[in-house]
Chains A and B, each alone.
Chain A
Amino acid sequence: MTSRFENVKNIFIDSVERNSYVELESAQHNYKLLEKSLEKPLKMILLFGKPGTGKSMLLNKLYHNLKESREIHYFDAPILSEKEFLRRVYEAITDKAVPNELRVNFDGLLRFCQKLKGEREIVFLLDECQLYSEALMEKIRLLSDTRVIKFVITLHKTENEDVIAKQHFKTRIWEVIELSNASEDDLYIYIQKKLIQQGFVEIGNMIRKKDIKFIYTYTYGNFRESNKFLYTLFDIYEYFDEVKPHKVSTKKISKKFLEMAALKLGYIDG
């Protein structure tokens, strides 16, 4: 017999699945901003923020919402090889497979794109762009200069990458959307919505604001960290539910379990 907490913990596994997307006010605002930016004659749009702030989720949502209405392609994993990247772009534009023994010539691709000017507008969503080489980034910029391909790229905001971002994008007319961690209230809504969306209303009722406050103290509202915390918490719940069910209260979240989760994740020293 599986514990009821097993299913609960699984909803907090870090993923960018569309059905796990939670509509938050701040995320909604960023999404609208992104949509509007796509309408503008911009060459590149930069999604910028710390890891776990929802950049990939936003790209994923944008792709699924727009894939029916416009030419949009989503590269969720970074393509580090230049040859592979050009091949994937060519295939996406032409809808033709390139034989393995052949390679796409960048100049040829550029000329092809220039020919399409005014006829088509193709959007490429590139995740984890901090992993792309500078040479490849330069090629992406040149492709975007044709005004046929628009790139929406995501970058992690760390000290070094902040410098890279400045170097690459500051001088160009690009839209920059910065994503930040959730506030305490946003985190509460996020967790509640996530549980209710999956039908765990009772568990949602168990979580009080002070529990969120406790989680927030360690995760600072970072979605990835918070998900990890909740996964660990319900993992502990699952164990006690199976081994010592008398110790599990369904009325409220146990402070002991919260502290154990924090201990396990190294937020507090044991």
Chain B
Amino acid sequence: MDSIKELEKRWYFYKVKKSLYSINIFAFMGMMSLASYYTYTQVDVIKNLFNKNKLVAEAKVEPRKVTIEPIIVAEMVEKPLEEHVKSTKVADVVLASKNEGLDGSALHVVSLEPVIPIIDMEKENRKVTSTKRVYKATRHNKKTQRKMVKAKASTYLTASELSTIKHEIKRSNRSASRNTENIKKINLNGSSVNYIETMKKKFKMSKNARDALLLAKAFYAKKEYSQSEKWALTANKLDSNKDESWHIFAKSKAKLGQKNEALKILSSYYKKSHSPKTKALIVKIKTERL
């Protein structure tokens, strides 16, 4: 009888041991599933990166640097501008830029859409070839010039003929410059709401400093200086070595009436970069010729 009592006690111990074992197993399983979920999410990000690279390669678009790790980005990007901004009211802007999707998690998102080529006329100094009219005009202009050169080379012209030719050259040059202006206008028309929206979408996917800078430029052109300031800051955060991000930011500040702030920022950047463009801009702002 006593042995059965003893056996019952042993059975209770056995049950406790068994329950503890089951709890351990469940805990282990839970940890394993959490770990696998975490791994899965990481793998997803890497997959997206590969897909993006593949798409970019297929579209024969220049491969761009894609930022994956927010920590690495944070280490790479110098933030002097942000430091300056902290002393001013730009803290609000930083918040606003975060709302735009600049937070750490958003940086994981990689664009899967083909890259829309953006032509920056001022920067790249491209030839005017976008419209037939311009093309024709240029061609005509070139033809005329060629003719004139030929004429000049092969024949001796009279003074009146020479003045006619010069006049002709001036006229054609003027028409060419007018066409260029037209192009510029067309380009500026491109900085419409649609352009900005497209760029915003593009930036949301790419998180590229260049796109942010283009947005800053577009807003600046539209005289929306607070927006241009914000986007310049965004571009600067992503790549602080771009002169233009500093320039647009300072210009926007100046336009918003914060001339001293703008000068302070540019001066500190000039100390570091020694960029003549920056120096010129400082002079421009000082002399209020912006």
Contact = CB atoms under 8 A, between A and B. Distances in A.
B11 interface: yes
A41 interface: no
B159 interface: no
A50 interface: no
Nearest to A240: B4
Contacts of A256: 11
A259 B11 contact: yes
Contact of B14 (A235, A236, A243, A263): A263
A214 to B, nearest CB: 14
B7 A263 contact: yes
Contacts of B11: 256, 259-260, 263, 270
A263 B4 contact: no
Nearest to A259: B11
A264 B1 contact: no
Nearest to B4: A239
B272 to A, nearest CB: 73
Contacts of A201: none
Q: With a 10 A CB-CB cut-off, give which of A235, A236, A260, A270 has the most chain B CB atoms.
A: A270
The prevalent SS among residues of B at the interface is: helix
B7 A260 contact: yes
Interface string B1-43: 1001001101101110000000000000000000000000000
B13 A260 contact: no
A235 B3 CA distance: 11
A263 B13 CA distance: 11
B18 to A, nearest CB: 9
A264 B7 contact: yes
Contacts of A263: 7, 10-11, 14
Interface residues of B, number: 9
Nearest to B10: A270
A86 to B, nearest CB: 47
A269 B11 CA distance: 9
A33 interface: no
Nearest to A247: B8
A98 interface: no
Contacts of B10: 260, 263, 270
A116 interface: no
Contact of A243 (B1, B7, B13, B15): B1
A260 B15 CA distance: 10
Nearest to B13: A270
B1 A268 contact: no
Nearest to A256: B11
A236 B4 CA distance: 7
Q: With a 10 A CB-CB cut-off, give which of B4, B10, B11, B13 has the most chain A CB atoms.
A: B11
A25 B108 CA distance: 69
Given A259-B11, A260-B7, 5 more contacts: A236-B7, A243-B1, A256-B11, A263-B14, A270-B10
Interface of B: 1, 4, 7-8, 10-11, 13-15
11 contacts: A236-B4, A239-B1, A243-B1, A256-B11, A259-B14, A259-B15, A260-B7, A263-B11, A269-B14, A270-B13, A270-B14
- Ranked nearest first, the 5 interchain pairs of A and B with the lowest CB-CB distance are A270-B10, A239-B4, A270-B14, A260-B11, A260-B7
